[in-house]
Chain A
Amino acid sequence: MMTDHWVISLLLGDTLSTLMAVLGTLIGWKIAVRWDPNSSSQFQLMLERKSYLVSALLVYVFTFEILSLWLFILTVNDHFPPLIRGAMCATGSLNVDSFGWPTLYLKVVVFFLLSFWIYLHKIDRQLPEYPLTKEKFLALLALSPVILFTTIIEFLYFVNIKPDIITTCCSVTFGAAGNEPTSVVAMNVKENLVIGLFYLFVGINVALNMSIVFFDRMRNSVMPFFSPVAGAGVVVIGFLAVIHHYAKYIYSMPAHHCPFDMLWKEYYFIGYIIDGLLFMTLISSFIVGIARLLKRRKLLEEVANRSLVRNALATACSTGALFVIVTLIKTIWKILY
């Protein structure tokens, strides 16, 4: 599998961006440790110039890393199945060795962490004093090992793939007619309970974030701290609701619960829209919490407040859009069949 051009491209891109991240960290540790916003010394000026250059480069590198999640999913969901025995979608491709699922989970974690880092960078660059430079580079020190580890696991995943060994696909992992699912997310879940919780979390999330937009913008209440909790709730329950309830309307098959097949053209790429909205909800709701933390600092108050309101609105909109889309799919299916 290591000679496959998709794998070579993905590994090359990820390795280069990991090297850039490590290089950025090697330069950045000095900035993280010795950054002093009150100093105007030549050393501080040098750090300022380095921080400008390093973070500008890292934004591009991290944007690629964020996009590489999509490239990875495309590889395992579209490109690998014809090459691996028994694989019909990403589930089969990821089951092929013990590094498949950890790679996907790590890439998702990296996706979110890098999104938050880019957010910190954007806020930092909005003020002439660069008030978050130290925090940004400290975060980079913590991030780089995670990126490095992810690339190593991804490498191990590709190295260990044996295309001739038969793998198990989504009918086994997520369950199909007559099968008990092996995946934790697909087991022992009552469909009605999941749907009830999904409606509840969507309602809470939209109401909470809209009330932040309309009533909390000038106050310093604790309401925005609950946005990440509600957002995470929507994402977890929303994912379960899609697998256990809405998937059957998407696939027109009551026993088909795979979260990957819906990413295909046959299903109008609806999975990308659903996953995109879930990811957007999680990112923007966490940013609401981060912005509330930043708002505590006098210098950042105005910028953080603006960002808080925008992201609360984005969270409410993405959650609302998610609800509308899955409901629409269900309604159309009921009208048609």
Chain B
Amino acid sequence: MPYSVVVADNIVKIFNDGLPNEVIAIEGVSFNINEGETIVFQGPSGSGKTTLLTVIGCMAKPSSGDLFVLGSRVSKWSEDFLTQFRRQHIGFIFQNFNLIGDLTAFQNIALPLVPTGIGTAELNHRVETWADKLSIKHRLRFKTGILSGGEMQRVAVARALIADPEIVIADEPTAHLDTRLSQSIMDIFTELKFLGKTIVIATHDPLVVRASIVDKVISFRDGHIVNETEKL
């Protein structure tokens, strides 16, 4: 029996609840993600993919419904506990990177490890290892504000993976990359899958949807799941 890393039960997320500009971003969404699986959420812009990722990634609480992540009922948790949980268990690659422009690539990548109190030598080693894997070692001392889109994307990936999370969530991870770099990102995901990580990706990119590592594709439209395809 596979272990369910994420169990979503009838998740609803409403923004501006009760106000005239109320938006129902996701409505009645239920699914399971097993340990070690790679899941792709696909759908047009505004279909609720990113909202769902933020809910799974414990950055937003669902308006109703139950969400269990790694066996914990996180939908009822307070924000500071969600932050601690996210720091320990979830790596998030944002569509717009969310890097701090005034910090160097090294400092951005190291950021998730700072609250853990890890030693400097170990921190340096981890940052350099991931920078090397993602071919950005030569840019570590540069401020991220002056990096190219592809380089920023790779810094964002390194930052998401530096704390060795069980779950890796990526929002359009290849959106700013050329084919060669997109393939290198997919190679990283392949390696992560081999290491037993659970990967959740929201994407439009056919390269990602068709990748051999993907176990399940869930299609979205207007905040609902319209199709769920398990790849054999």
Contact = CB atoms under 8 A, between A and B. Distances in A.
Number of contact residues on B: which range applies? 10 to 19
A52 B80 CA distance: 9
Nearest to A41: B17
Interface of B: 16-18, 61-64, 72, 74-82, 85
A193 to B, nearest CB: 53
A40 interface: yes
Given A40-B61, A40-B63, A42-B17, A48 B77 contact: no
B76 A37 contact: yes
Interface string A48-64: 11001000000000000
A40 B77 contact: no
A42 B76 CA distance: 13
Contacts of A41: 17, 63
B81 A128 contact: yes
A49 B77 contact: no
Contact of A45 (B18, B61, B64, B76): B61
A176 to B, nearest CB: 57
- 4 tightest CB-CB pairs across the interface, nearest first? A128-B81, A128-B77, A42-B17, A40-B61
A129 interface: yes
Contact of B78 (A42, A43, A48): A48
A257 to B, nearest CB: 51
B62 A40 contact: yes
A42 B63 CA distance: 8
Nearest to B15: A42
Size category of the binding interface on chain A? 10 to 19
Contacts of B81: 128
Which of A40, A43, A45, A130 counts the most B-chain CB atoms under 10 A from its CB? A40
Contacts, number: 35
Nearest to A129: B76
**Most chain A CB inside 10 Å of its own CB: which residue of B75, B78, B80:** B78
Interface in A27-44: 37-38, 40-43
Nearest to B80: A52
Q: Which of B16, B74, B76 has the most CB of A within 10 A?
A: B76
A128 B61 contact: no
B79 A48 contact: yes
A42 B64 CA distance: 11
A122 to B, nearest CB: 14
A45 B76 CA distance: 11
B63 to A, nearest CB: 5
Interface in A124-143: 128-130
A43 B76 contact: no
A124 to B, nearest CB: 10
B63 A128 contact: no
A139 to B, nearest CB: 19
21 contacts: A40-B62, A40-B63, A41-B63, A42-B16, A42-B17, A42-B18, A45-B61, A45-B79, A48-B79, A49-B79, A52-B78, A52-B79, A52-B80, A128-B72, A128-B74, A128-B77, A128-B81, A128-B82, A128-B85, A129-B76, A129-B78
